Structure 1
Amino acid sequence: MAFLDAHAARERFRSGDLTPSALLEAVLSRIDAVNGDGDRPGVNAFTEILADSARAAARAADAAYAAARPGDAPLPPLLGIPVATKEKHGIAGLTLEQGLAACRGDIASAHHPVVERVLAAGGVIHGRTTSPEFSCATTTHSPMWGVTRNPWNLDATPGGSSGGAGAALAAGMAVLATASDIAGSTRIPAAFTGTVGYKAPYGRIPGAPPLSADWYRGDGPMGRTVADTALLAEVMGGRHPVDHASWGPQANGSLTSALQGAAGAQGLRVGLSLTLGDYPVAASIRERTLHVARALEAAGAEIVEVSLPWTTDRLRRTAFAHFGHILGPAMARLTAGTEAELADYTRRFIADAARAASQESLPDSLALDAAVQSELAAAMAGVDVLLTPTQAVEMLDADGAYLDGIDVRDADGSTRHLEHYWEAHLTSPFNIANRVPVLSVPSGLSSVGVPIGVQVVGHPFDEATVFRAGSAITDLVAVPPFPVEIGAGRAASPRSR
């Protein structure tokens, strides 16, 4: 029952076959069984379990379903569904620490906009999920919250920064989850955990100021299915008075109505890029991405190979030039005086960002962004969506820092050293070009038993086509069931230097 999807759960709630309280208890029991605690190692996906308030909300949902009669107004779209929220999505009256010693004991004065909307839609928030410090890494561990592990292989990370969200979904500890993304922080954990993650166009899902004004970032939904992820995206999205960059309607059904299953592949023109220029990509990841392309083609899509003039080095320099003028200084100011207590990856991020800002002015950074955006537009001319891997590597160590970069084995067996581990993921270009919607969906398992994902990239603001293609992929491509027995796999990760 803990692995039930949101749509199936709502149908059972309406039929009286299942109550929200019963589903919540199944999820809480699963957390008790596999999340671990100080004496029992486990996935460690949560910073806090909100069992009492969740049970009260579930009982209220029980009563609402029991009282519903034909002809009544529709019940809220998430009524009774257990939702895990990323800790950075503040809940009024609870701590908001973001894994930082500098923020220890801070209390949120108001709900984050996405929390507000989840609650208004009837969602039952039962837990808050882990992230690395200030969400600045693609693994999920911190001195404050410890190491979050991948349910498929406890030696592996679930990715980051929304690693707790991905791990909770994959392990049956949540039905839906909130996430965020500034360089892949929703899509990377989705790929590594076999779940679905959505990076909306900038502003489509409201954030919390002041960093909501950073045009690389965005909050978003994760789920175990494309349909569930679309449902949560519709709840979360739309103009909000707190975020002046937010736009569009809320909960208008435009995403869920775009889901056609396998039939949605018919007539699609799909651009295919296995490397986005010169990314080294593991053989198993390339093969699974090609498998997705072949499945779409067999179902009536046209596959068009596209090329991009990008290098991982250039994309890293472009992204860090941006971070050097916004996120890096914000982190340095927030953590001043507590540097000795920071994780090593956080100190490295702040230093890298400062160095990049000294080399590129903000206007220079905008020019770098514009070049990437123009090249992406040219590559996607004449296609409806772009298909590309989400990650380049099969796994990363759960507690890895990769301060000296990462060695990535390419499909031909050669090994290439990348200066920064962020280059081991094919995600940041679509934060540089952050008006494009991107959906990461599962494509299978790698040779080390950790999931693989593909990204479906749309034209600016064209969300419906991305969900149409993602729905087709999940109907056409078989992937293994989620691990009831966690951590079965054991394998060596890419070697760090």
Structure 2
Amino acid sequence: MSTGFEGLDRSAGQAVPEQGAPGRFATRGEAEQLTALSATDLVAGYEKRSLSPVEVTDAVLGLIERENPALNAFCLVRPDEAREAARASEERWRRGEPQGRLDGVPTSIKDIHLTRGWPTLRGSRTVDPDQDWPEDSPVVARLRESGAVFVGKTTTPELAWKGTTDSPLTGITRNPWDLSVTPGGSSGGSAAAVASGMGPLATGTDGGGSVRIPASFTGTFALKPTYGVVPHYPASAFGTLAHTGPMTRTVADAALMLDVIGVPDHRDWLASPAPATPFSAALENPVRGLRIAYSPTLGHLEVEPEVARVVDDAVTAFAELGAHVEQVDPQLGDCRRDFQILWYTGAAKATERLGEQQRTLLDPGLREIIEEGLAYSAQDYLTAMDTRMRMGRIMGRFHAAYDLLLTPTMPITAFEAGREVPPGSADRRWTSWAGFSYPFNMTQQPAASVPCGLTAAGLPVGLQVVGPRHADGLVLAACRAFEEARPWAHL
């Protein structure tokens, strides 16, 4: 009996769509074709009944079963619940009554976001899984209301404390491009899931680069929106450094996802009002005539030569699109110590209720920064906040002259999995190599990472696009224009 969903072309070995999953899948059979599709493609197919939410969900779950043992991107998968949600979605589409704009789209949730009925362990052995989990965080609630099919929860370092993804609870998460290297973090599980085709959408959090670092390392797209655009609950111990954002393979998918999750929630008193127009409506805005600054080092950072070369070449695309591009630094200075004061005191706050026995279960690196955080004074904290306010003023003035700022997302490519820093590093902390990302958590600006090329070793490089506060649509439009000018073929 026909369900009214005709499905894809049944011929095996069809070429991967240009914006599909990473290149280790050179050709794809039917199921793999489904996992290569974007969320916007899926929704269009559901509407035309050429695609089936059940078939798509089965394909994604099959890929998770095959690939996750090596990648360790998921710490929880609920296939029966996902299939039940997919069947309900298929019936809604059959009736022509979709629940929302993401109805039937397989989506994964970072194990930081509360999810009703599923444990949220935050990568920590100190959280008891055997308790009631009655509530969705705002981002999960909005996705659920939109009909998204939740396939599972993705891995995170403990309490999302660092820029790589490994924890005493879930072990080491690996990069689909090379299993020996890290996908970055702290949203590394989400990035690895999206990059490998295990669902087109994932949630991420970003307190110092945690969606942009893994996007750069895995060749995916991620946006840290302006603070408050996506409501955050429970309130983060890291305060207003912590953002929530979409992690996807395409810019259009990120804009669509942001349209769904970027609405106020009464549980977050700092949430922004709903936008006047959808974020996806800004995607076709032209780049021509924009004033764009390019800072290859932010004035003081060392960048690997091959990364610098790839990013330099990527920046020329904006001039070719008609923008006025100028190499200039915003003169922010080095804010690493101030960021660390805020970050480490946040880690101390997040763990203040733990007993001594529970503290022995923590990641050793996390224990170290907690001890450092406890040693800072109120004066240290206020001085760091003063630096943050100064940085905000500098960037406000900078954006009076320039519409956007371009930088490398990361000064390096992915390095050995299971380490906080690259081999041979003289520094022990992840902040030593993430200096392009956390300044814009300090200033709360929208910042995205868009894939812009590969190194000779075949590892992805990201381009960071930063806009003024509340110019999220402008950042998305610029990234979309770049994506179209330099299609990411996932070679």
> Structure 1 length as normaliser, TM-score?
0.87
Specify the SS of the correspondent of 1:221.
Answer: strand
Aligned to 2:463: 454
Contact 2:344 2:369 in 1 (8 A): no
In the TM superposition, what are the counterparts of 1:167-182 in structure 2 within 5 Å?
Answer: 167-182=192-207
Give the C-alpha shift of residue 396 in structure 1: 2.1
Give the C-alpha shift of residue 452 in structure 1: 1.0
Q: Hey, what's the Cα distance between the residues in 1 that align with 2:254 and 2:378?
A: 39
Moved more, 90-99 or 100-109: 100-109
Aligned to 2:279: 255
Give the C-alpha shift of residue 475 in structure 1: 0.7
Q: Deviations over 1:8-41 (max 9, x none)?
A: 11111111111100000111111111111xxxxx
Aligned to 1:39: none
Contact 1:344 1:401 in 2 (8 A): no
Aligned to 1:399: 418
Give the C-alpha shift of residue 284 in structure 1: 1.7
Aligned to 1:377: 396
Contact 1:82 1:124 in 2 (8 A): yes
Q: Hey, what's the Cα distance between the residues in 2 that align with 1:365 and 1:336?
A: 29
Q: Which amino acid aligns with 1:77?
A: R
Q: Deviations over 1:215-245 (max 9, x none)?
A: 1111111110000011111111121011111
Q: Hey, what's the Cα distance between the residues in 2 that align with 1:280 and 1:213?
A: 27
The equivalent position to 1:290 in structure 2, one of 312, 316, 322, is 312
In the TM superposition, what are the counterparts of 1:196-215 in structure 2 within 5 Å?
Answer: 196-211=221-236, 214-215=239-240
Q: Hey, what's the Cα distance between the residues in 2 that align with 1:157 and 1:110?
A: 32
Give the C-alpha shift of residue 208 in structure 1: 1.1
Instruction: Indicate whether 1:468 and 2:477 are aligned.
Output: yes
Instruction: Indicate whether 1:16 and 2:49 are aligned.
Output: yes
Q: Deviations over 1:130-181 (max 9, x none)?
A: 0000000111111111110000010111010000000000111111000001
Instruction: Indicate whether 1:388 and 2:369 are aligned.
Output: no
Structure 2 portions without partners, runs of 5+: 1-33
RMSD of equivalent CA atoms? 2.0
Contact 1:406 1:418 in 2 (8 A): no
Aligned to 2:289: 267
Moved more, 114-123 or 438-447: 438-447
Q: Which amino acid aligns with 2:66?
A: A
- In structure 2, relative to structure 1, the CA distance for the partners of 1:348 and 1:450 (3 Å cut) is farther
Q: Hey, what's the Cα distance between the residues in 2 that align with 1:383 and 1:442?
A: 22
Q: Hey, what's the Cα distance between the residues in 2 that align with 1:80 and 1:210?
A: 29
Instruction: Indicate whether 1:442 and 2:451 are aligned.
Output: yes
Q: Hey, what's the Cα distance between the residues in 1 that align with 2:128 and 2:164?
A: 21
- In structure 2, relative to structure 1, the CA distance for the partners of 1:397 and 1:253 (3 Å cut) is farther
Aligned to 2:243: 218
- Identical-residue share of aligned pairs (%): 32
Specify the SS of the correspondent of 2:357.
Answer: coil
Count residues in correspondence: 456
Aligned to 1:99: 123
In the TM superposition, what are the counterparts of 1:7-406 in structure 2 within 5 Å?
Answer: 7-36=40-69, 42-68=70-96, 75-105=99-129, 106-211=131-236, 214-249=239-274, 253-260=277-284, 264-311=286-333, 314-334=334-354, 336-355=356-375, 357-358=376-377, 360-402=379-421
Q: Deviations over 1:281-318 (max 9, x none)?
A: 1112211221121111011111011113345xx32111
Aligned to 2:12: none
- In structure 2, relative to structure 1, the CA distance for the partners of 1:328 and 1:88 (3 Å cut) is same
Contact 1:320 1:352 in 2 (8 A): no
Specify the SS of the correspondent of 1:265.
Answer: coil
Q: Hey, what's the Cα distance between the residues in 1 that align with 2:429 and 2:255?
A: 32
Aligned to 1:412: none
- In structure 2, relative to structure 1, the CA distance for the partners of 1:133 and 1:468 (3 Å cut) is same
Q: Hey, what's the Cα distance between the residues in 2 that align with 1:335 and 1:90?
A: 23
Give the C-alpha shift of residue 194 in structure 1: 0.7
Q: Hey, what's the Cα distance between the residues in 2 that align with 1:77 and 1:25?
A: 20
Q: Hey, what's the Cα distance between the residues in 1 that align with 2:160 and 2:406?
A: 26
Q: Deviations over 1:406-437 (max 9, x none)?
A: 757xxxxxxxx456322312100000001x11
Q: Which amino acid aligns with 2:442?
A: I
Q: Hey, what's the Cα distance between the residues in 1 that align with 2:467 and 2:427?
A: 27
Q: Hey, what's the Cα distance between the residues in 2 that align with 1:324 and 1:180?
A: 17
Contact 2:252 2:480 in 1 (8 A): yes
- In structure 2, relative to structure 1, the CA distance for the partners of 1:74 and 1:110 (3 Å cut) is closer
Contact 2:420 2:429 in 1 (8 A): no
Contact 1:43 1:154 in 2 (8 A): yes
Q: Hey, what's the Cα distance between the residues in 2 that align with 1:335 and 1:282?
A: 43
- In structure 2, relative to structure 1, the CA distance for the partners of 1:387 and 1:336 (3 Å cut) is farther
Q: Hey, what's the Cα distance between the residues in 2 that align with 1:65 and 1:352?
A: 54
Q: Hey, what's the Cα distance between the residues in 2 that align with 1:407 and 1:245?
A: 42
Aligned to 1:427: 437
- In structure 2, relative to structure 1, the CA distance for the partners of 1:81 and 1:265 (3 Å cut) is same
Q: Hey, what's the Cα distance between the residues in 1 that align with 2:342 and 2:162?
A: 16
Give the C-alpha shift of residue 451 in structure 1: 1.0
Structure 1 portions without partners, runs of 5+: 37-41, 409-416, 483-497
Contact 2:225 2:447 in 1 (8 A): yes
Q: Hey, what's the Cα distance between the residues in 1 that align with 2:221 and 2:93?
A: 28
